[in-house]
A and B are shown apart, each in its own frame.
Chain A
Amino acid sequence: MNSSLGCGLVLGALACAVFGAVVGIGTGLARRDSGTPWVIRAAVGFFLCMLLANLTMVWALVSHDFSVKYVAHVGSRATPLVYTVVSLWSALEGSILFWGIILGTYVLAFALTNRGQHARYLSLALGTMLGIGVFFAFLIAGPANPFSPVSPLPADGPGPNPLLQNHVLMVIHPPMLYLGYVGMTIPFGIAVAALLRGDLGEAWTATLRRWTLIPWTFLSVGIILGSWWAYAVLGWGGYWAWDPVENASFLPWLTATAFIHSTMVQERRKILKLWTLSLALATFLLTILGTFMTRSGVFNSVHSFTQSDIGPTFLVFISLLLVFSIALLSTRGQMVAAEGKLRSPLSRESAILVNNLLFVGITFTVLLGTLFPLVTEAVRGVRVSVGEPYFNRMAVPGGVAVLFLMGVGPMLPWGSANPQLVKKQLLLPTAIGIAVALACLAFGLRGFLPILTFGLAGFVGTLTLRELLLPASVRIAEHREKPWTALLRSASRARRRFGGYVVHLGMVMIFVAIAASSSFVTHTSGTLRVGQSLKVGDYGVKLVGFQTGAEPHRRWKAANVELVGRDGRAETLAPRMNFFERSTDPIGTPAVRSSLFGDVYISLLAFSDEERTATFNAWIFPMVGWIWWSIPILVLGAVIAIWPARKSKVARLGTPQSSASDRVATADADRGAA
């Protein structure tokens, strides 16, 4: 019943997508907008079919209908309800189905918010997005069909991967990442529409920008949550290992970030149009490549589900997209030619250009390191992997340079800067940066890269805060506004700039946390009898005893550990090992004592009941928590930047602000990315 219902709904979605894609691109290319209402209807139909198909699957999972292939695959009567629902995205077929509903939601949201506007582009954009929908609906209906019936009917299933039902982050990390990944389809559709149409208007560029920023935000949060999950669940004492799967999420993030910056140059100076569109296309291509890498089983990792036959389908799709994008860029490229030019090397646009080259350079090196093993295995039949040192050596200098530009870029004005003024403005931030670096040295910290990062963080933090607060302080001085009112008003006058700087502050936090936690880590391991203890940094770790427990889907054994700090205060931690039904291997849950200055991280490696011993790995990671605590700041900044402007502002966007009499507004316009 669920099986045939689901299959029917997926076929319905496929039909809607095919119809919408054909009508949308057909009428769009013929430059008629009579097809638009039909394309919107197709988008609604696609969304509804996908929604119902997903609900059918959730229902099948919750009601343990093992006649559905996917439920027989990942369902289990012993799994708690929340993880049963979550198992929708815990394996290949379900995750592609989940992809479908997110794509449907995005396309519908885009269609509804832009209905009645952008008549020139809307059909083409929606047609392209639904064209991507055709591919995924085809995948769900064919090679990765989760609804296929199963016979004979199994009495129970194995349950989802224990690693994925071990932590509550698994409930939010994948949807966030999916919202980021799938959302990149929207900017792709927008950019393709502009290229097919052969011109890129300002209002359409604003749409492109906003609809890139939305998935960018989700992708950023998804990546950070993913690293948090790896840290809190896998127990190997780290959060990032340059695993192909991590790289798969990081690559589109890099190009999307480059896009968000280059689009400001495009808006302001009317240059880099083709470059910006290329970045939008590349971002989408990288998400599809990433999905291929994580879903086809070519790489071995937590995310690689069983060998599946969707690999070839994906390869064909990637090649088609690549050929299509290159053809589009090379044939339509001259139609979106630059209308201005770069005037001075000392300007905001030059800084952003360098930022873009850095981002693309990092993308290239990470992509090279990720794909290299695949190529050598295919060409020479040699199985190799690229070690972490490669990625660190390539990405860290680029990252430090990006950090530096994050401070300098926003300080430089558009057009060309007055060198004297720049020198004057650099004085205070440079002094603070050097002071921070010296303070670190005085506290006994050593190491070139971390000290450089901390110093730069001081420099960038000062610059960013000044740019952030300067308009407000002008308002306080000239309009005698209260500080809070001034801050809110200056923020709402230049939302995108203000939001961007808030995001920058969050990024500075991440840079500092990464530098501190990777450079000043302390690690010890050892086997303890009950009553014995070992030292990790300033802490003593004493094994007190064991406890066991049972939950419906798993049993666990924990080692009770007393953690004694320098001040003599003791705390109890319980790193444990979980034994899941139907899984042969135990899964550890490390115990983490978090504080503002750093985490104590203890994972239980092994225990022996007879000997009453336990073996631990213990680490101290300074400031590591700051990586995940940056999420609210990033989201706040992004929301400020995305928040729609009032209609009057939209109307004004297209006109130059030369007539602005208010000094604050002029100052805002000159400094800002507005």
Chain B
Amino acid sequence: MTTSSRNRLIAIVSILVAGGALGFIAFGNLGKNLVYYWSPGEMISKGNQAYHATIRLGGVVQAGSLKWDPQRSRLNFRVADNPTAGAVSVPVISTEVPPQMFREGIGVVVEGTFDKTGVFTSNRLMVNHSNEYRPPKPGEQPREWQKTVSEAASSTARTQ
């Protein structure tokens, strides 16, 4: 074996080893940092698997469940699969201040963890934005935001 071909072999083997190690570390890290998108119903059906995983829980804020404690800046509400009254829902505690448009009935995604007490603790709260590009749907009127704003204001007032 000549020196140059030996060197080439060493180079190829070391690159393969480095690549393999990188792949191994990357997949390991990936597994630890996955965030699951579940609805309340899906999350409950996962049983033990759902505890302590990072979850993005998507659903709607159940009517009549919203409580906001401005002193402790603590937000309590239930996220339900859908807006109907008997839908599966999960209680959520969030330490984050609710954004302006947050209100009962709105679609939300909360990120956090679920524990055995059956409470979802969230540190990140995202309201489903509806500002996709689309032509207005039938029946959708311009200046709808004014209604939304007054609704939002009254819901904030209600929850205080």
Q: What residues of chain A have their CB less than 8 Å away from a CB belonging to chain B?
A: 72-74, 90-92, 154, 156-158, 160-163, 304-306, 341, 357, 361, 364-365, 368-369, 372, 382-390, 393-394, 525-527, 577, 579-588, 604-611, 613, 615, 617
* Contact indicator A585/B148 (Cβ below 8 Å): yes
Neighbouring A residues of B149 by C-beta, 8 Å:
579, 586
* Contact indicator B30/A606 (Cβ below 8 Å): no
* Contact indicator B30/A158 (Cβ below 8 Å): no
User: What are 12 A-B pairs at a CB distance below 8 A?
Assistant: A72-B135, A306-B132, A365-B26, A382-B36, A525-B97, A527-B73, A527-B97, A582-B136, A584-B144, A586-B149, A588-B100, A605-B98
* Contact indicator B97/A581 (Cβ below 8 Å): no
User: Considering the chains assembled together, what is the distance between the CA atoms of A119 and B146 in angstroms?
Assistant: 64
* Contact indicator B142/A581 (Cβ below 8 Å): yes
Q: Identify the closest chain A residue to B141 (Cβ).
A: A582
Neighbouring A residues of B144 by C-beta, 8 Å:
582, 584
Neighbouring A residues of B101 by C-beta, 8 Å:
584-586
- Most B CB within 10 A of own CB, among A389, A527, A608: A608
* Contact indicator A606/B134 (Cβ below 8 Å): no
* Contact indicator B145/A91 (Cβ below 8 Å): no
User: Considering the chains assembled together, what is the distance between the CA atoms of A393 and B33 in angstroms?
Assistant: 10
* Contact indicator B35/A163 (Cβ below 8 Å): no
* Contact indicator B143/A385 (Cβ below 8 Å): no
Q: How far does the Cβ of A334 sit from chain B's closest Cβ, in whole Å?
A: 15
Q: How far does the Cβ of B20 sit from chain A's closest Cβ, in whole Å?
A: 12
* Contact indicator A394/B29 (Cβ below 8 Å): yes
Could you count the A-B residue pairs with CB atoms below 8 Å apart for me: how many are there? Answer: 146
Q: How far does the Cβ of B43 sit from chain A's closest Cβ, in whole Å?
A: 12
Neighbouring B residues of A587 by C-beta, 8 Å:
131
* Contact indicator B37/A383 (Cβ below 8 Å): yes
* Contact indicator B35/A161 (Cβ below 8 Å): no
* Contact indicator A610/B157 (Cβ below 8 Å): yes
Neighbouring A residues of B54 by C-beta, 8 Å:
387
Neighbouring B residues of A605 by C-beta, 8 Å:
97-100
Chain A facing B: main interface SS: mixed
**Could you say which interface size class chain B belongs to?**
35 or more
Q: Which of A74, A387, A611 contacts B35 (CB 8 A)?
A: A387
Query: For the complex, is B127 an interface residue (Cβ under 8 Å from A)?
Result: yes
* Contact indicator B145/A583 (Cβ below 8 Å): yes
Q: B113-160: which have CB < 8 Å to A?
A: 127, 129-136, 142-146, 148-149, 152-153, 156-157, 160
| 1/0 contact string of B37-78 vs chain A (CB within 8 Å) | 110000000000000001010000000000000100100000
Q: Identify the closest chain B residue to A393 (Cβ).
A: B29
User: Considering the chains assembled together, what is the distance between the CA atoms of A527 and B72 in angstroms?
Assistant: 10
Neighbouring B residues of A163 by C-beta, 8 Å:
131
Query: For the complex, is B85 an interface residue (Cβ under 8 Å from A)?
Result: no
Q: Which of A361, A385, A525, A581 contacts B22 (CB 8 A)?
A: A361
Q: Identify the closest chain A residue to B53 (Cβ).
A: A384
User: Considering the chains assembled together, what is the distance between the CA atoms of A542 and B105 in angstroms?
Assistant: 33
Known: A581-B145, A584-B130, A585-B129. A607 touches B100 (CB 8 A): yes
* Contact indicator A385/B35 (Cβ below 8 Å): yes
Q: A386-B33, A583-B145 are in contact. List 6 more A-B contacts (CB 8 A).
A: A305-B132, A584-B145, A606-B99, A606-B156, A608-B153, A613-B70
Known: A162-B131, A582-B142. A385 touches B37 (CB 8 A): yes
Q: How far does the Cβ of B130 sit from chain A's closest Cβ, in whole Å?
A: 5
Neighbouring A residues of B37 by C-beta, 8 Å:
383-385
Q: Which of B32, B127, B135, B145 contacts A73 (CB 8 A)?
A: B135
User: Considering the chains assembled together, what is the distance between the CA atoms of A390 and B25 in angstroms?
Assistant: 10
Q: How far does the Cβ of B121 sit from chain A's closest Cβ, in whole Å?
A: 16
